[in-house]
A and B are shown apart, each in its own frame.
Chain A
Amino acid sequence: QKEVEQNSGPLSVPEGAIASLNCTYSDRGSQSFFWYRQYSGKSPELIMSIYSNGDKEDGRFTAQLNKASQYVSLLIRDSQPSDSATYLCAAPSPRGSDYKLSFGAGTTVTVRA
């Protein structure tokens, strides 16, 4: 089982719609979760962090965490063409005595004008 899995996509949504991205993680001890946005040819950029169960909103982005189901999601409301990118989910995984981030393979989102 992969440490972090994302819905594979690609995901195509019309401008103004909601894009919904999903991610599951394998380690029940994980406490911190992140969403990164990566434009083609560029490095990942952190867009959301979430540590507690429930929803966290930041502008048009909402992260949702359910630790019992080991599930974290990202909603992009009022999607814009500038949101077209690959979105990476990251969660801690144990490595020896430490936890280090593991990244999902990413979901590519295309927003159609």
Chain B
Amino acid sequence: DGGITQSPKYLFRKEGQNVTLSCEQNLNHDAMYWYRQDPGQGLRLIYYSQIVNDFQKGDIAEGYSVSREKKESFPLTVTSAQKNPTAFYLCASSIEGTSGVAYEQYFGPGTRLTVT
């Protein structure tokens, strides 16, 4: 089965702790993305990566870090510097687009992070 997996589904952490969210895909996609979704709101891009060992900041990168050591994997670390980390985190992947064309993104099931 091709798809994107995220783990864990639910994560609880104390304030001040770093936490790493896992994202793995077997769709052979070059591009991977991390989004944050808050209740009643749309998706906000945190980081994206178009190729192994390279990634770019999205709109809300502060307090987050990523790595892309393998094509299949794009883990996200939520650091203690992130002021409001409680949210639903979504990982997605796609094939790379060209000018004016961004191809469909496929989403993992998400990780719901609660920090108290």
Contact = CB atoms under 8 A, between A and B. Distances in A.
Do A and B associate with each other? yes
A42 interface: yes
Nearest to A105: B42
Contacts, number: 60
B107 A92 contact: no
Contact of A29 (B33, B41, B99, B108): B99
Given A42-B109, A45-B107, A100 B42 contact: no
Interface string B6-48: 0000000000000000000000000001000000011101001
Contact of B90 (A43, A96, A98): A43
Nearest to A44: B107
Interface residues of A, number: 25
Interface string B79-109: 0000000000010001001111111111111
A92 B104 contact: no
Nearest to A103: B43
Contacts of B94: 101
A97 B105 CA distance: 19
A104 B102 CA distance: 15
A104 B43 CA distance: 8
Most buried by A among B43, B50, B105: B43
A75 to B, nearest CB: 20
A63 to B, nearest CB: 13
A15 B56 CA distance: 44
A53 interface: no
B51 to A, nearest CB: 12
Interface in A4-44: 29-32, 34, 42-44
Nearest to A2: B42
A49 B110 CA distance: 22
Given A29-B100, A42-B109, A104 B42 contact: yes
Given A44-B90, A104-B42, 12 more contacts: A29-B99, A29-B100, A30-B100, A31-B100, A34-B104, A44-B43, A44-B107, A46-B104, A92-B100, A92-B101, A99-B101, A100-B45
